[in-house]
Amino acid sequence: MEKTKTSMMTRRHTLLLGIAAGATLPAIAACKPQGSSTSGGGATNSTSAANATSSGGAGSPTGLVATITFPGGNPAGGPFVFDIAAGNDIGSYTSFAGSFTQRCIRVRNAGLGNFFVDFRTDVGSNRLEVVFWNGEVFGQVPSGHVNDLPAYDCVISNNGSTIYSLSLPFHYWGCRWRYQSSRRPVIRTSDQIFLQNWLPPMSRQAARLEGYQGIIVPIPIPPLTNNPLTGNAPWTPFDPPNGKIYKDLALAVNVAAGATSITVSGGTVDRNDRVSIRLANGHWQTFLSLGLDGDTTFAVDKPFSFAAFAGTAAKVITMDMGLLMNNDGGGGGPGRPEIGIITDSQAEYLLTTGARQAAALDTIMAQAEMCASQWNSMFLPDSVTGAPVNYKQDAVRYASYTRNSIGNGPYGGSYYLIRGGAINTLWNNNATEHMANYFYVPYALTEDSYFAEAMQFAVQWDKGIDAYHKETDFGNLAADPTGNSGIVGPRPLWSYQAEPRNIGWGVRNTASAWNSAPENPPSWMLGKGYFASIGQDEAKIIDITLTKSTDTLQTVFRNPCTGDLVQVFETSYFLLSLAFAQWIGHPTGTGPQWKTPLVYFFDQITQLTNGTSGWNRQCPQITNEDPSTGVAAFSSIKNPAGHYRNWSEVWAARGAAYQSGPYANDPEPRCQQFASSVQNISIMLAAAMAAKSCGVPDATTACDWLNRLVDDSYPAPLFSVQYEMKWGFSGT
């Protein structure tokens, strides 16, 4: 396997929040040890905030203070002071590599409920982080609490000297942001990521970057750079993603309440662009363009739900779908660089060198920073423990999990918020099936605790609530919120079960959090044992409901979900996740190892590619085979008299729909699916390669065929977009 070798142990980078690399920070004075819950009260501080500025400071300060001022006077009682001297030491995080130990002092102010500040200092270093949180669950937080904060000014000072100041347009409930005096340096090379088993093996050859004689020419992923809304300043909290993704900005907008179309001037909007409108109050509303390419008036995927729009004050920005931080309204397959075990930008960093690698690093760190701050509004710690919610801790917390199928339990009600008639769609409402793994590779490169926390909150969100809601009927959980009736053990947890990709990404999310969690965590994090226990639950529920199912949906067609549909790209996501969990050693306790369902369900790819099952292997990308389309069913349980019994029957009934177009009669290895996405076939190839690395017996033959198929058919004339590097698993 060929990978990039580069030494980046001492590299420092420009900060995301506007601090120049190399700026010095005054020495941090010692804070109080473990203390009481004393808050900063309503004390005032006359320091005024400005747009993002910083200073190295000077002298010998005696303490750190963060001051929050609301220019509009609401919430009343400010300025609100958060003094490290009044905080509680809630424990230290030590990186696996032993390169740093980070203390955490949590400070509250009684005048600003459910808002708190963490001062995080490195032992033996003057590196500083300050994390600002808005929102928590349990304790005194009422169910369904909504508290989006309006614009405020923030000043961080050390012994009276301003270190940093920033003005924010608002602060959503369930979101956070941080100041950091320097970005964590990269402490692992690309080689070490693979040699230390953070990921299954990848190679430049498998990613079609070199050693390939065909016509695939991957192009670089554009980096995230500057924010046009603020000139050359980097991204700041509660703005949309920055950089190349802005096509037009500051456009005049003419809309009315309840409108289903938008008219802009000064630019055009393409079909499937993400269109964000900044309202007069500073908030953003995001839509999917349904108009034709080059339109100035275009339809949107949902009507405007705010009472009114201020036309001259609003701004319209269109975004490249591929670099947006969520997929509300989008799919999960080709042309989506963020969906997979890793993102395409992360693969680009791991598999390239030089300026291209450096640009990819900036992109993946910016994406991780943005999503670890405000993605899904999912950053709601347990107000009692201070950590992400441990659903297995007691019946109260577990009951909040089982009642979230309607989004109004004590936990779900705090997550699933409607703000002014519309969800924060720029960042929110991202179902598990569309969750990208933004944090895992950045964590593996830096061991930044902020990203480890984000992975834990992703599991909290994934297991606790899903935009498609939570199924709670396994083991009669809805009727028994104590969890004692769970069919795989007490208080079991799993992701939404109706689609293979949801199950798969749930496994991926849990395994990622487990591999980054400390064995002995500080009180503000959960430990490895918790995520190991969830892995056991997920392995057992897959075994009981799927692997051991007697339905032909599983016994014949090897479909890894209970829904009566067969979509091999979703099966491939599921298989990739199992291979990832198996490769990194995610434990399953008394459940079967991940390789057991990996081998069993890989048979779907085997049957679609071996040429002997009755299915035409030149058309391997079966999709949308659902009874709702009028196609006969696969499930013998749901459709005992009218289901398919083998792959030959499926091909006899549906083959003409797949084998069509000008290539329908081309000889092997040409793909005969004119209307099918060859890029989805590359997802099958990635799953086969990862399975091969895990020793799945049939994977080698499937890899050989899928490699031939992709190499002969990709991209023109069948599919003329870049090959996605994230599928470049080598099978070694």
Q: What residues does 471 pair with on adjacent strands?
A: none
**In whole angstroms, how large is the CA radius of gyration of the chain?**
26
Assigned domain for 186 exists: no
The pLDDT assigned to 486 comes to 81
Q: Which of 148, 180, 212 is the last residue of a domain?
A: 180
Asked whether residue 98 is assigned to any structural domain, the reply reads yes
The reply to whether 726 falls in a domain is: yes
The length of the chain is 732
Q: How far is CA 258 from the centre of its chain?
A: 31
637 Cβ contact list (under 8 Å, min separation 6): 550, 551, 553
What is the model's pLDDT at position 528? 98
Range from 193-202, 317-326, 335-344, 619-628 carrying the lowest mean pLDDT? 317-326
The least confident of 82-91, 265-274, 403-412, 523-532 is: 403-412
Q: Which residue has the higher pLDDT, 291 or 34?
A: 291
Percent of the chain with pLDDT over 70: 66
Q: How many domains does the structure of the chain reveal?
A: 2
Contacts of residue 73, defined as CB under 8 A and 6 or more positions apart, other chains included, come to none
Q: How high is the pLDDT of residue 317?
A: 57
* Mean pLDDT, range 148-153, rounded to an integer: 89
Please work out, in degrees rounded to the nearest 5, the angle formed at the alpha carbon of residue 559 by the alpha carbons of 553 and 564.
Answer: 55
- Sheet of 175-180: strands edge to edge? 88-94, 101-108, 115-121, 128-134, 175-180
Tens-digit pLDDT profile for residues 647-678: 999 999 888 888 887 788 889 988 888 655 66
Residues 445, 450, 455, 458, CA torsion sign: negative
Task: State residue 12's pLDDT score.
Answer: 21
Instruction: Give the whole-angstrom CA distance, residue 577 versus residue 585.
Output: 12
More confident residue, 19 or 559: 559
pLDDT in tens, 399-456: 766 554 434 444 455 544 433 333 343 444 456 777 889 999 999 999 999 999 999 9
Quote the Cα angle for 313-315-320, to 5°.
170
pTM here? 0.85
In a domain, 348, yes or no: no
Q: Which of 180, 208, 231 is the last residue of a domain?
A: 180
Q: Are 350 and 190 in contact (CB under 8 A)?
A: yes
**Does 409 reside within a domain?**
no
d(CA 700, CA 702): 5
Helix axes 500-516, 449-464, angle to 10 degrees: 150
User: Average pLDDT for residues 266-293, to the nearest whole number?
Assistant: 66
Q: What is the mean pLDDT of the chain?
A: 76
Residue 84 within a domain: yes
**For the segment 323-366, what is each residue's pLDDT rounded down to a tens digit?**
444 433 333 334 567 789 998 889 999 999 998 898 888 878 88
Distance CA 567, CA 559 (A): 8
Is the pLDDT confidence value at 515 over 90?
yes
Q: Are 432 and 510 in contact (CB under 8 A)?
A: no
> Do strands 252-254 and 101-108 pair parallel, antiparallel, or not at all (unpaired)?
unpaired
The pLDDT-based confidence of 632 (bands split at 50, 70, 90) is confident
User: Which candidate, 275, 325, 320, 322, places its Cα nearest to that of 295?
Assistant: 275
> What average pLDDT does this structure show over 40-48?
26
Give residue 665's domain range.
Answer: 550-559+594-732
**Residue 188 domain-assigned?**
no
Among residues 129, 161, 180, the one where a domain terminates is 180
- Asked if residue 359 is part of any domain, the answer here is no
Handedness of CA 309, 311, 312, 315 (dihedral sign): positive
